Amino acid sequence: MEATLKKELRRQMVSTAYLEADYDRFFLEVAHAIGTIQWLGGKVGWITAKTREEWTRKGAPGSDG
């Protein structure tokens, strides 16, 4: 996971990773992902159920919907 995140974060001017966990993931796995992103110098945007609902109704930022 770390190598993939590092590669992706280097490609972007602003290193923000948007994280949306599946409902069946343990919180420790999500916390590890957040910690890894931050350790690599990235910022974390957490996509919650509320965010997903709003994007479904209004369209995600940057989308044509």
Q: pLDDT tens-digit profile of 21-56?
A: 888 989 999 999 999 889 888 899 989 888 889 888
Structure confidence at residue 9 as a pLDDT band (50, 70, 90): confident
pLDDT at 65 over 60: no
Domain that holds residue 8: 2-58
Q: Give pLDDT, residue 21.
A: 85
Report which of 49, 35, 45 is spatially closest to residue 12, judged by C-alpha positions.
45
Structure confidence at residue 15 as a pLDDT band (50, 70, 90): confident
Structural domain includes residue 8: yes
Structural domain includes residue 34: yes
pTM, whole model, 2 decimals? 0.64
For residues 12 and 38, what is the distance between their CA atoms, to the nearest angstrom? 15
* Helix, coil or strand: residue 12: coil
Residues with Cβ within 8 Å of 39's Cβ and at least 6 positions away in sequence, in order, are: none
Q: How many structural domains comprise the chain?
A: 1
Structural domain includes residue 65: no
